[in-house]
Amino acid sequence: MNRIPKTGQLSHSELLQLRRWNTPTIYNGWEQVTKLDAAARVVNWEETRDFMPQMGPMIGYAATLVVEPSNARHKTDNPSAWSEYREYISSLPGPKIVVVEDLDRPQVIGSFWGEVNANVHRALGCVGTIVDGAIRDVDEMSYAGFKSLARRLCVGHAHSTPVRWGGEVEVFGTRITPGQLIHADKHGFIAIPPGDETRLLEASIQMDVNECETVIAAARSAHGMPTEEALAQINAAAIQFSGRTREQFGKQGEH
């Protein structure tokens, strides 16, 4: 069983500040501090849905789980699975996001998540889940303060029980290891590669400021200008944006 590494752990203040930004903004910051390609598989490559967008973004460290609601055999293979799994969850530092691989995909047979599990996991320091299967009791899960990104809703739980936990999982086309820092909202999620957490907040804020002070400001103030003048202003701002990005991070930036 893998444990969340102590290295890369951010302070409570840093986590709170990261949660104030949307996930695309966090991606923009990550892009500047990572050595990986901007198209690396660190975000969801398949469509996912945020069923609690009113809760805003969530951030936490991945606790991983595999389920297979169609298979009744799992209930008898390990009668103590639930207690062992909850012990695993409770042993990890928070905040935690439970990342669940559903072996039934692309079919949805039953939901691991509902009102009861949401409340239990909230009590164990979890803030939400990313599951490539389904959830149910969506209103009750919202009342519990437990955010959920999932493939769809469903009615029943079928044979939902923990199968394996604490190992690498794949959800929405992206592989996630226990302990990865995850930021998620209505746009999807990003799983920060180990080692890229340290400057993530600083870079995300700087990139947002750069955009607001250059390209966005130029575009907003261009209304009413002749087309050539507006284009010249925006192009100049894009050059300024790229220059700031190179100066701060040694990279070009997207504009």
Residue 208 inside a domain? The answer is no
Q: pLDDT at position 144, please?
A: 96
Q: pLDDT at position 252, please?
A: 60
DSSP state of 1: -
Q: Are residues 191 and 221 in the same domain?
A: no
Angle at 82 between CA 145 and CA 61, to 5 degrees: 45
Please determine, for residue 123, whether its predicted confidence score (pLDDT) is greater than 50.
yes
Residue 132 inside a domain? The answer is yes
Q: pLDDT at position 254, please?
A: 61
Contact residues for 158 (Cβ-Cβ < 8 A; gap 6+): 69, 70, 109, 110, 111
pLDDT tens-digit series, residues 2-44? 444 444 689 999 999 999 999 999 999 999 999 999 999 999 9
Average pLDDT, integer, range 55-73: 97
Q: Are residues 93 and 172 in the same domain?
A: yes
Q: Domain of 239?
A: 214-249
Angle at 138 between CA 47 and CA 60, to 5 degrees: 65
Calculate what percentage of the chain has a pLDDT beyond 70: 95
CATH of the domain at 59: 3.50.30.40
Q: What is the DSSP string of 125-179?
A: TEEEEEEEEEE--HHHHHHTT-EEEEEEE-S--TT----EESS-EEETTEEE-TT
Residue 48 inside a domain? The answer is yes
pLDDT tens-digit series, residues 173-230? 999 999 999 999 999 999 999 999 999 999 999 999 988 988 888 889 988 888 998 8
- SS3 call for 43: strand
Structure tokens at 10: 């951010």
Average pLDDT, integer, range 52-63: 97
Domains held by the chain: number: 2
Please determine, for residue 251, whether its predicted confidence score (pLDDT) is greater than 70.
no
Structure tokens at 168: 């690498």
